[in-house]
A and B are shown apart, each in its own frame.
Chain A
């Protein structure tokens, strides 16, 4: 398992990168979560966690502009994403890389074309340069030699890695992961965790992960928000290892200890 999770090497450390203010998420008149507040610093590996159906993925959809907040706002650096006009938003979106839960590779394109498409759309590179960069990105996630495969010809874990290669195509500032380890075996999942750490350290990217995989949470997360489905508010935030050691909230403790803990004496994870 990867270590040194809490020492981001980014020089802009502690500068807020993403600020969420009083965010309320709703489907029509049904309020899913209200009053969410958190700050993600540069170089953080930020975990959005909570039980099933609490709105983790919906929060992610808000962060990447696929869904509009009912109230509240989302601020990236010093630009207000929620209030930005469509053109600004499009520019901001290009600085994001997103790995969807199912990979969401475009099924009619080969892996190289999947990775190359954003490059072709937003850069002035020639087709052969694009191909080279796409091959490089695929090699970074351990898929060299698979450039001309179609997504349905490779395994689920490989699709996920290819999705990551596509998310990294434009060297994003912020990488979003929706349940990266869902459907992966423990080894692939821990390899993915190491890859995420490596990306954070080498690219200096800020990383936001939706997950309820405890092993990953403790191994790589250094900041988090905990959403509670019953009370429909965030009930904790901060370093997950710190939460495990210090949180007094029984719901948080129950989650972080898989409901096994009775009293004290845990906290040897990570």
Chain B
């Protein structure tokens, strides 16, 4: 019987593994364990066959059963004369055995074990388990959890409000020309969330116009009122859809980018560096972003309104047989400045919300790369939720004041 040995890496990692797989494939049978009780109330554990993680290895339950069923045991010893190759599977089994033995105050005689195995076992037991490091999964009662998360929401409102306060102070400084920021940064952010967003806004708003037109056409053409598709698209786009669709695009595109950028700066301590340099990150990082988005959102919204109407025209002329001239006349007759400016006002407000949500979540980011991803996700969710809620409130308020 050759000396059982730990699978080594003589031939280099990959090949050794390959070889190991072949060898274990060739060896018949699998690891087995049997116990015999000697006269002097010791237990002989006989280990045989190949013990490999790639095959099934016996679990430590055998020993536990033996411990529970039998009368007093004084010690255990091992017989490995029929043990073939072994790996961590065997070590894990022996560690379990060892834990069980210690729990019951049983001596272990490890003389029967191979030398390498003994050393690895000693290594595994060299540093005792540190108490209290395993976080216990304590399931708290339902009401406690409800209470805690309610308080958590309260705190997040707190954070939001103090962020808003700091932003207001920074904006006050900006108005008085005292804010510290770089004009270049402002211009760059304006380009990023203005000009660079035109492409996607074009695509989405045109399609929203097309969809609105189709939705209207199904009903309106039934009683020969297809021309009113123009009214529907025009009012729909200018009043609400232009603003809210732009907001949704921008929260996914720019809000997430703000959160990821600021979150990464938090992780790399760049924000700390601003703070300790005496430069307010609020003025230097947040202010340009908020101003840029607030400036760009109404422009993008106006553009989206136009593209939406174009989409409606495309459907009206192409599918419903309306004339370009007729469609345009109907649109112009319906178009009111109140609706357009209402939409632009909403868009500006959504822009503010998106920028705040993005920057706030970026600042609250934790200290790891996964936290940056979470921050971006939360920024998008928060800005879309706030945007849609605001949209609903606007609808009610506009209705009450008769716009």
The interface residues of chain A lying within 8 Å CB-to-CB of B279 are: 117-118, 121
Nearest-CB distance from A87 to chain B (Å)? 10
Interface positions of B from 237 to 289, Cβ below 8 Å from A: 265, 268-270, 272-279
Task: Report the separation of the CA atoms of residues A91 and B276 in the bound assembly, to the nearest whole angstrom.
Answer: 10
Please determine whether A94 and B270 come into contact, CB atoms closer than 8 angstroms. no
Please determine whether A66 and B276 come into contact, CB atoms closer than 8 angstroms. yes
The interface residues of chain B lying within 8 Å CB-to-CB of A94 are: 277-278
Please determine whether B268 and A104 come into contact, CB atoms closer than 8 angstroms. yes
> Which secondary structure dominates where chain B touches chain A?
helix
The interface residues of chain A lying within 8 Å CB-to-CB of B277 are: 93-94, 117-118, 121
Using CB atoms, name the residue of chain B closest to A96: B276
Task: Report the separation of the CA atoms of residues A90 and B180 in the bound assembly, to the nearest whole angstrom.
Answer: 14
Residue in contact with B278 in the complex, picked from A104, A106, A108, A122, CB distance below 8 Å: A122
Residue among A96, A98, A104, A166 with most chain B CB within 10 A = A104
Please determine whether B276 and A106 come into contact, CB atoms closer than 8 angstroms. no
Task: Report the separation of the CA atoms of residues A66 and B185 in the bound assembly, to the nearest whole angstrom.
Answer: 25
The interface residues of chain B lying within 8 Å CB-to-CB of A118 are: 277-279
The interface residues of chain B lying within 8 Å CB-to-CB of A126 are: none
Please determine whether A105 and B276 come into contact, CB atoms closer than 8 angstroms. no
Please determine whether B268 and A64 come into contact, CB atoms closer than 8 angstroms. no
Task: Report the separation of the CA atoms of residues A93 and B272 in the bound assembly, to the nearest whole angstrom.
Answer: 12
Please determine whether B180 and A104 come into contact, CB atoms closer than 8 angstroms. no
Using CB atoms, name the residue of chain A closest to B267: A102
A90/B268 contact (C-beta < 8 A), A98-B273, A100-B273, A121-B180 known: no
Residue among B180, B272, B274 with most chain A CB within 10 A = B272
The interface residues of chain A lying within 8 Å CB-to-CB of B180 are: 121
The reply to whether the CB of A65 lies closer than 8 angstroms to some CB of chain B is: yes
The interface residues of chain B lying within 8 Å CB-to-CB of A65 are: 276
A106/B269 contact (C-beta < 8 A), A117-B279, A121-B278 known: no
Nearest-CB distance from A44 to chain B (Å)? 20
The interface residues of chain A lying within 8 Å CB-to-CB of B270 are: 104-107
Task: Report the separation of the CA atoms of residues A106 and B269 in the bound assembly, to the nearest whole angstrom.
Answer: 9
The reply to whether the CB of A190 lies closer than 8 angstroms to some CB of chain B is: no
Residue among B268, B272, B278 with most chain A CB within 10 A = B278
Using CB atoms, name the residue of chain B closest to A89: B278
The interface residues of chain B lying within 8 Å CB-to-CB of A106 are: 265, 270, 273-274
Nearest-CB distance from A84 to chain B (Å)? 13
The reply to whether the CB of A58 lies closer than 8 angstroms to some CB of chain B is: no
The interface residues of chain A lying within 8 Å CB-to-CB of B278 are: 90-91, 93-94, 118, 121-122
The reply to whether the CB of A101 lies closer than 8 angstroms to some CB of chain B is: yes
The interface residues of chain B lying within 8 Å CB-to-CB of A93 are: 276-278
Nearest-CB distance from B354 to chain A (Å)? 21
Interface positions of B from 210 to 230, Cβ below 8 Å from A: none
Task: Report the separation of the CA atoms of residues A10 and B279 in the bound assembly, to the nearest whole angstrom.
Answer: 30
Task: Report the separation of the CA atoms of residues A117 and B276 in the bound assembly, to the nearest whole angstrom.
Answer: 13
Residue among B268, B273, B274 with most chain A CB within 10 A = B273
Residue in contact with B269 in the complex, picked from A96, A102, A121, CB distance below 8 Å: A102
Nearest-CB distance from B16 to chain A (Å)? 31
Using CB atoms, name the residue of chain B closest to A64: B276
The interface residues of chain A lying within 8 Å CB-to-CB of B185 are: 108
Nearest-CB distance from A262 to chain B (Å)? 18
Using CB atoms, name the residue of chain B closest to A170: B277
List 19 A-B residue pairs with CB atoms under 8 Å apart, sorted by A's residue number. A64-B276, A66-B272, A91-B278, A96-B276, A98-B273, A102-B268, A102-B269, A103-B268, A104-B268, A104-B272, A105-B270, A106-B265, A106-B273, A107-B265, A107-B270, A117-B277, A117-B279, A118-B279, A166-B273
Q: A93-B277, A118-B279 are in contact. List 17 more A-B contacts (CB 8 A).
A: A64-B276, A66-B275, A91-B278, A93-B278, A94-B278, A98-B276, A101-B269, A103-B268, A104-B268, A104-B269, A106-B265, A106-B273, A117-B277, A117-B279, A118-B277, A121-B277, A122-B278
Interface on A for B, CB 8 Å cutoff?
Answer: 64-66, 90-91, 93-94, 96, 98, 100-108, 117-118, 121-122, 166
